[in-house]
Amino acid sequence: MFSTFAWFVSAAVLLGVGTAMVYPSLLAAIGDVVNPVWRASTVGVYRLWRDMGYAFGALLSGVMADAFGVASAIGFIAFLAFMSGVVVAFRFKDQVRS
């Protein structure tokens, strides 16, 4: 059976692969829907919020892990990620160009 370290390495590899698949798609989607004049600024704002999410997400999950346990912190972050997907699914329209 896997040791704890092997599970963490496997999870980190899967996280890296998932990020590598999603991140270029998100940047391309932003580039597709934004006026070319505003594209650079829009990508910069997107990156600002995304990178702040890494920093504040780590702090929030650390505080939650200390207060409620690691499983609760992971569950809460997963819930936030799911809810962001729900918001995107309902708020953003498909921008198909002909």
| pLDDT value of position 97 | 55
pLDDT of residue 1: 55
Measure the CA angle with vertex 80, ends 38 and 52; round to 5°.
45
Write down the mean pLDDT value for the chain: 85
What are the residue ranges of helices labelled H in the chain?
A: 4-33, 39-68, 70-91
**41-79 confidence digits (pLDDT tens):** 988 988 898 889 888 988 989 999 999 998 898 888 889
- Picking from 34, 72, 33, 26, the residue whose alpha carbon sits closest to that of residue 50 is 26
Looking at residue 94, its pLDDT comes to 65
Domain segments of the chain as ranges: 4-91
Using one digit for the tens of pLDDT, what is the confidence trace for 64-73? 999 999 889 8
Residue 65: the pLDDT is 93
